[in-house]
């Protein structure tokens, strides 16, 4: 049975329906890509899978690792092995990154490491990603570049080792540095955690070095198409127009 299964999932913000009758199955250790035009509902899907209270599930179910998690809190989902990358980390001047990362895993199973041991572990993770360990002493303050934000996300990913990671990549503002960081993080997560991925993106350059199992297309809150990795090149060449036309109800 799949690691993640959405069945007839619909969700709203307030009175506004956004996701409609979503069926989706993600097998363990697979890499899926979620594509679609701006405003299609891709980020909302990620938030709903994580249980973000901003959105309400109006029908359907979310099953993860054999458990119905439709009503589970975001924290419990995270502890169950779900991870959603966030695009804007908090800014806490004076707090070094290493301390922030420590707080991320505080109280979690398997993280009763002493301070020194923990710092060593994080330094090793940073090295495996080709990050300068000096980065860990940076304060979690203002002025992070896109690449530096991405480094934090990728360190959290490798630290938490989630069973399923949802990476929601902004469609704009990923410079070459940030692209490299994400691409490196994905490869390391696949290699060392044998993890499962949902990559939400327009930016097919992120996917150049990633083995993709399935590609899903979302339009106007509906999943309208699904195919193998060849679909990425097709969308690169032809865009979403044919899917958008199919999704427009006849007047
Ligand atoms: P995508 O990630 O595919 O660009 P989003 O999930 O961000 O799409 O948005 C889908 C639709 O839901 C958009 O019309 C957006 O305005 C709306 N939406 C998403 N989140 C909220 C929210 N918190 N409040 C109001 N509308 C929202
Ligand atoms: Mg968007
Ligand atoms: Mg989005």
CA of 38 to the centre of ligand 2 (A): 5
Distance 45 CA to ligand 2 centre (A): 11
41: Cβ below 6 Å to ligand 1?
yes
Tell me what ipTM this predicted complex has: 0.96
pLDDT at 235: 94
Q: Token digits for 69? A: 């998690």
- At residue 174's C-alpha, the angle toward residues 173 and 178, to 5°, is 145
Q: Which atom of ligand 1 is nearest to the CA of 40?
A: 3
| Three-class secondary structure assignment of 146-202 | HHHHHHHHHHHHHHHCCCEEEEECCCCCCCHHHHHHHHHHHHHHHHHHCCEEEEECC
Question: How many angstroms does the Cα of residue 9 sit away from the middle of ligand 1?
Answer: 16
Q: Ligand 1, from 19, 39, 40, 167: best to mutate by most atoms within 8 Å of Cβ? A: 39
Contacts of 192 (CB under 8 A, 6+ apart): 128, 158, 161
Give dist(CA 217, CA 167) in Å, integer.
Answer: 16
Tokens 């697979």, residue? 30
Is the CB of residue 222 below 6 angstroms from any atom belonging to ligand 1? Answer: no
Residue 148 CA to ligand 3 center (angstroms) comes to 20
- Residue 112 pLDDT: 80
Walk along the chain (251 residues) in steps of 10 and give the mean pLDDT of each run.
Answer: 97 98 98 95 97 97 98 95 79 85 84 86 92 88 80 92 92 76 92 95 83 97 97 94 79 57
Q: What is the pTM of this model?
A: 0.94
For the chain, domains (ranges, CATH) are 1-89+164-177+195-251 (3.40.50.300), 90-143 (no CATH)
Nearest CA to ligand 1 atom 21: 13
């Amino acid at each position: 049975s799949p690691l993640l299964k959405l069945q007839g999932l619909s969700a709203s913000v307030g009175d506004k329906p956004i996701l409609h009758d979503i069926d989706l199955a993600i097998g363990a250790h697979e890499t899926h890509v979620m594509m679609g035009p701006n405003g299609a509902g891709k980020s909302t899907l990620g938030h709903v899978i994580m249980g973000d209270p901003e959105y309400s599930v109006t029908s359907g179910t979310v099953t993860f690792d054999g458990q119905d998690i439709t009503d589970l809190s975001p924290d419990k989902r995270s502890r169950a092995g779900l991870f959603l990358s966030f695009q804007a980390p908090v800014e806490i001047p004076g707090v070094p990154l290493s301390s922030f990362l420590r707080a991320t895993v505080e109280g979690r199973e398997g993280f009763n490491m002493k301070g020194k041991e923990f710092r060593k572990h994080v330094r090793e993770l940073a090295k495996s990603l080709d990050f300068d360990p000096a980065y860990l002493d940076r304060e979690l303050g203002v002025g992070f570049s896109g690449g530096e934000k991405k480094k934090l996300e990728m360190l959290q990913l490798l630290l938490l080792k989630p069973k399923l990671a949802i990476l929601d990549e902004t469609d704009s503002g990923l410079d070459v540095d940030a692209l490299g960081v994400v691409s490196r993080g994905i490869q390391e997560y696949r290699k060392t955690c044998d993890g499962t991925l949902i990559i939400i993106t327009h930016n097919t350059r992120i996917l150049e070095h990633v083995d993709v199992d399935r590609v899903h297309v979302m339009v106007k809150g509906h999943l309208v198409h699904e195919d193998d990795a060849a679909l990425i090149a097709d969308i690169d060449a032809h865009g979403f127009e044919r899917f958008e036309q199919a999704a427009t109800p006849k007047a």
